[in-house]
Amino acid sequence: MDSEGWLADTRTSYDTVAADYADQVRHLLDETPHERAALAHFAELVRTGGGGPVADVGCGPGRITAHLHGLGADAFGIDLSPAMIEVARRDHPGLRFEVGSMTDLDLADASVAGLVAWYSLIHVPDDGIGPVLAHFRRVLRPGGPLLLGFHVGDESRLKTRGYGGHAMRVHVHRRRPGQVAARLDDAGFTVEARTTLSSAESPLGAILLARRRPDAP
């Protein structure tokens, strides 16, 4: 799957559904105590590590960015979809949001104290995961925590409709936690915790917490 093709499809799809998507997920964290606990632990790790900016990559309408901000993190959001960023800025006017791609993060080396990708890697094809994780490693400070949320499974499917019934064209890739952990290890991260769970976020999801190894380039 060529990168320009899936990126363009993902951008267009989320531009189309941005408003309805935001309405559907706005209060999702109210129903997911385990996810809230994982985000709180992540925010605490950032604080005890000295604090600093936290990137929410693939932030969508900004709900995770805002939640992290409420936990005391200096969080900002990045998303591929300009329409999603418009919604995020509208709903959370005091926070920083910008259009960007996890495939080419416009952030300086070792410039963030923590990074979250909350169900945003699910549209990245297998051959794109390595380069994306390399960008995550590059922008994270040594020892900085990385929190990933994703759907668990073995298959990929093409999503053609969703969020208000709008037409979409995005591939949704489900992966096993062990596979993602192995990719993280290859990319210079040490996985510290992982869990699988069923909740309002996903019928079967996984949360992985890792840190950039100090010796990783």
| Number of domains making up the chain | 1
95: in domain: yes
Pairwise CA distance, residues 153 & 170, whole Å: 17
The mean pLDDT values, 10 residues at a time, for the chain of 217 residues are: 77 94 94 96 97 98 98 98 98 97 96 98 95 97 97 92 85 96 97 96 96 80
217: in domain: no
Can you give the pLDDT at residue 167? 87
155: in domain: yes
109: in domain: yes
144: in domain: yes
| Angle in degrees, 0-180, between the axes of helices 3-25 and 82-91, rounded to the nearest 10 | 30
Sign of CA dihedral 18, 180, 106, 29: positive
Can you give the pLDDT at residue 217? 52
Residue among 46, 75, 52, 39 nearest 149 (CA): 39
Per the structure, the complete domain to which residue 114 belongs is given by: 3-212
Are 54 and 115 in contact by the 8 Å Cβ rule? The answer is yes
First to last CA, the chain: 28
Pairwise CA distance, residues 132 & 6, whole Å: 14
Task: Reduce the DSSP state of residue 160 to 3 states and report it.
Answer: strand
Output the domain CATH number for residue 156: 3.40.50.150
Pairwise CA distance, residues 15 & 83, whole Å: 5
161: in domain: yes
Residue among 40, 37, 98, 46 nearest 70 (CA): 40
71: in domain: yes
Can you give the pLDDT at residue 19? 93
Q: Which residues, 6+ apart, have CB-to-CB distance to 215 below 8 Å?
A: none
